[in-house]
Amino acid sequence: MLDSPAGDSFRYALNPELLKLYAAIVVGLSGLSLSQYDLFDALVEPLGFLLSAPFFLFGLVFSVGGVVGVLHRVLSDTRKTPE
């Protein structure tokens, strides 16, 4: 059914290893957005920052790590010589 180059690209993009990295990016971005809400500002200001900082760092690490992982995977696959 999908024997064209577009089908090959679609199958590559939905590789289970890449899906895990996509999920890491989504989880990281949701952590970043959660840290930006005013959920923690109802408390005292320094305490609100201390509560939101771990969410920000968690989101930053996961989103950047996922993007770097996807780029590494794609670039390493393009440098492989066909057998």
Residue type, 83: E
- Shared domain for 31 and 44, answered yes or no, is no
Residue type, position 8, single letter: D
- 70 within 8 A of 21, measured Cβ to Cβ: yes
pLDDT digits (tens, 9 = 90+) for 14-73: 989 999 999 999 999 998 888 877 666 666 666 777 778 888 999 999 999 999 999 999
Dig out the tokens for 45 from the structure: 């200001």
The two tokens of residue 29 are 């971005």
Q: Does residue 51 sit in the same domain as residue 67?
A: yes
Say how many residues make up the chain: 83
What pTM value is reported for the model? Answer: 0.79
**Residues 7-18, mean pLDDT to the nearest whole number:** 88
Whether residue 78 sits in one domain with residue 57: yes
Q: Do 7 and 31 belong to one domain?
A: yes
Q: How far apart are the first and last CA of the chain?
A: 25
